[in-house]
Structure 1
Amino acid sequence: MKTQIVHISKLQTSKVMAVLYLVISFPLMLMAFLPMLFTHQPVQWSMIWWMPLLYAIFGFIFTFLGAWIYNGIAGWIGGIEFTLAERGED
């Protein structure tokens, strides 16, 4: 069965992606600051709080814009098509 995604909820998708970006940003931020701990460079500890927050905010904004653009394109030329198949229980 072929199915088409013709609409993406901008707000819900953006909220989910913002939280996902927030969670992903913590290990990335720690890996970025780890080399600074072993050198004599000053560490800006305030960035530990700002980086994940900014990552989540910009993730929300760009996901919202992406969903908005996708919905416009899907209304114009159709949405992404994919095929669904039922599977037996494993």
Structure 2
Amino acid sequence: MIRVKRFGVLQTAKIVAVIYALVSLVILMPFFLIGSMLSEEFFPELEEFGAVAVVMLPIVYGIFGFIFTAVGCVVYNLIASFTGGIEIEMETAD
């Protein structure tokens, strides 16, 4: 058994922030492409908003991912100090 006793708060938060930003970019890109095609026809005044959103939303997701992961790590570390942490059973692969 291996026990996760503590998470490095900043390192874990940085990794999750980058993952959130990349995943949001991959997930949101098709929606923005479809939305930009529809907005040209129905809402031409919103065309600039789509370009700003494509840049800003992954950044915002990354920032919030960092903040919430950092808070979650701190809470986990606090609780793990009382309970001993999460136990993981691992084995080596041949």
TM-score range, shorter-chain basis?
0.7 to 0.9
- TM-score of the superposed pair, with normalisation by structure 1: 0.87
Using the size of structure 2 for normalisation, the TM-score is: 0.84
Q: Which runs of 4+ in 1 moved over 4 A?
A: none
**CA RMSD across the alignment:** 1.2
For structure 2, the residue ranges without an aligned partner over 5 or more in a row are: none
The equivalent of 2:16 in structure 1 is 17
Q: Aligned pairs, how many?
A: 87
Matches within 5 A, 1:1-90: 2-39=1-38, 40-41=42-43, 42-43=46-47, 44=49, 45-88=51-94
Superposed CA deviations along residues 3-32 of structure 1, whole A, max 9, x for unmatched, are 110100000001111111111111122122
* SS of 1:8 mapped into structure 2: coil
Which residues of structure 1 form unaligned runs of 5+? none
- Percentage of identical aligned residues: 32
Name the CA distance, whole Å, in 2 between partners of 1:64 and 1:3. 23
Give the aligned residue type for 2:90.
Answer: L
Cα separation, 2, equivalents of 1:76 and 1:31: 45
Deviation string 1:18-56 (CA, Å, 9 cap, x unpaired) is 111111111122122123123223231211111010000
